Amino acid sequence: MTGVNGTLEALPPKLLTLGGDPDTVMAEYLDVIGRTISNHPRSLQKRIGPSEVGQACARRLGYKLLGHAERDQRPNWKATIGTATHSWLEDAFQAENARWLRTGGVERWVTETRVTVGATKTLGKITGSCDLYDRVTGTVLDHKVVGPAQLKHYRADGPSEQYHVQAHLYGRGLHLLGLPVETVGICFLPRNGELRDAFLWHEPWEEQIALQGLDRLEGIAAACNMLDDQALAMLPTADVWCINCPFYKAGSTDPAQGCPGHDMPKAADPAPLNFISNNK
Ligand code: SF4
């Protein structure tokens, strides 16, 4: 990046194409971003984490548990904005901790804590990283960076079941670390709005909600273990943006090759497996 003296120097002439086509620079620029997104640990994660336990579509979980390859998708830029915002927030709350230390001798906020939220017989420990914990109030917080339509929807109807279960699982993770947990919350932050549009959903922590989510996951995992790909047709589906699902395959008649989407029953479809419900 810099020359031998630590100063910024022009590249050697053999590496230069000064005046090169800006569109080529743009293509390379986007390629760097796309490859970085694709290689981010979150994109490569193979294990089920707390954010997926409450996934409403059991079949989608089944595909992941069975190790099915995800179809090629465009780099998820919106999720990357969310990831970058998480890093910024971690820095912000760490800086606030430094102020607490200076003024009161303690740190208030616990950021990005590795937690084990529980275990299932088939999958073993389920671990993840809890965004934020407030030691003063015993509040566990999750950041979600969302678009305007989602923000409106969550404000009106509360979080999805997937987010709901995730919040209580993180509550359990902190509880298992020996910390007092009173409240779990999700801070919905606008991806394209002002901070004043942010919305906090919260409710008292209930361990039972976390345990029900883990029970349901174990049911799905055990079915996949026992039946392999044959379990897929029996796993209940849900309307969760199938078009963005990494296992979606339009018109598929063989679940082992891909899922045609929710609400596409066939006369010969087997009855869905009935797991412990995690619906509110
Ligand atoms: S395409 Fe839809 S129904 Fe099928 S696994 Fe994915 S989310 Fe579930």
pLDDT score at 209: 98
Name, in order, each residue with C-beta under 8 angstroms of 129's C-beta and a sequence gap of 6 or more: 112, 113, 114, 115
Over the range 58-89, which residues count as b (16 or more CB within 10 Å of their CB) and which as e?
A: bbbbbbbbbebeeeeeebbeeebebbeebeeb
Task: State which residues of the chain have pLDDT below 50.
Answer: 267, 277-280
259 CA from centroid of ligand 1 (Å):
6
In whole angstroms, what is the distance from residue 21 CA to residue 33 CA? 19
pLDDT at 280: 37
Compute the distance from residue 70 Cα to the ligand 1 centre, in Å: 12
- From the CA of 63, how far away is ligand 1's center (Å)? 9
Domains of the chain in start order, with CATH, are 77-213 (3.90.320.10)
User: For residue 272, what pLDDT is reported?
Assistant: 64
Determine if the pTM surpasses 0.85: yes
Q: Which atom number of ligand 1 is nearest to the Cα of residue 240?
A: 7
Among 224, 259, 266, 269, residue to substitute to test ligand 1 (most atoms within 8 Å of Cβ) = 259
pLDDT at site 4: 60
| Spacing, Cα 54 to ligand 1 middle (Å) | 14
Mutate to test the pocket of ligand 1, among 161, 247, 257, 264 (most ligand atoms within 8 A of CB): 247
CA of 166 to the centre of ligand 1 (A): 20
